[in-house]
Amino acid sequence: MTAVQEKSAAAPSARPEVRRRRKRPTVGAVIVYIAAGALAVMWLLPLLWAVSTSLKSETEASLGQDIHWIPETWSLEGYRTLFERGDHLTWMINSTIVSTIVTVLTLVLCVLAAYGFSRFDFPGKNIVFGAIIAGLMVPGQALIIPLFDLVNSLKLAGTYWGLALPQVVAPVMVFILKRFFDAIPRDYEEAAKLDGAGHLRVLWNVILPLSGPIMAAVGIFTFIGSWNNFLWPLLVATDPSMMTLPVGLGVVSGGYGLFYAQNMAAAVLGALPLLIVFLIFQKQIVKGIAGVGLK
């Protein structure tokens, strides 16, 4: 055996073996996982029960003696009845339009306001920002009467704009976005300004691309809040054709009687768009909540 062969044969044995040590979970981590799993099960059980009941016949769903999760007779009677009536689809379309308008306008206004408070110094800045934060302490119910008088005087009652515009003001979103914009280094903006970019271009090409996770989180929470809003659409949507889904389910559906399968089918269809939106943007929402949008 030559010296080179001896050296190559001895090289592998000379290398220290690197073994990956698996970290054992601590007691605290195990407790957290168990608690999170229990909360997930508690959240899933009502949803599974709603889906199960919606797939039963109306006769089987009305029987309360024997509670069972799996339907004895699978039926789409509840869903078929909802679409045959036609009003449920109208309510879903109204909710989608109103929630989309609220989300888009809220993002535009809150982004502009947060960028202004984060990057500009002007007289009375702290006073104005303090007034916006003070708006968090004002309950929405206290503004119902003046808002209704304003919307009614502008002849917007019973319209999409009347349903959407009063929901656009969101002081908490301005606060959240401002805190996120404050954490973005100004070096990126200075480099863009050296290239001749103005404030709007800096906001569009620099700030917003770095704020994707927090923008997604704010948008989803705004959409969900508008979708589930009940009190304001109840007052403004005087025409049943303009009612949103929560109002329609709470007011009109009761006039048809108590039908468990139909009510559960309506609840499942009402929650389905929110579930789809969350599944699509779940990574961005988690990053936005965790505050790790910047690297």
Residue 144 covered by a domain: yes
156-185 pLDDT, tens digit per residue, is 888 899 899 888 888 888 888 888 888 888
Residue 28 covered by a domain: no
pTM comes to: 0.75
Residue 15 covered by a domain: no
Q: Region of 95 please: left (phi>0), alpha (psi -120 to 50) or beta.
A: alpha
Residue 14 covered by a domain: no
* Contact residues for 123 (Cβ-Cβ < 8 A; gap 6+): none
Residue 140 covered by a domain: yes
> 260 lies in which domain range?
84-290
Residue 149 covered by a domain: yes
CATH number, domain at 283? Answer: 1.10.3720.10
Q: How high is the pLDDT of residue 295?
A: 43
145-160 pLDDT, tens digit per residue, is 888 888 888 888 888 9
28-79 pLDDT, tens digit per residue, is 778 888 888 888 888 888 888 888 887 887 777 776 556 677 777 787 877 8
Cα→Cα distances 278→65, 71, 273, 275, Å = 36, 28, 9, 5
Q: Return the percentage of the chain with pLDDT > 90, whole number.
A: 5
195-242 pLDDT, tens digit per residue, is 777 778 878 878 888 888 888 888 888 898 899 888 888 888 877 788
What's the domain count of the chain?
1
Residue 27 covered by a domain: no
d(CA 137, CA 132): 10
> Residue 255 above 60 pLDDT?
no
Residue 9 covered by a domain: no
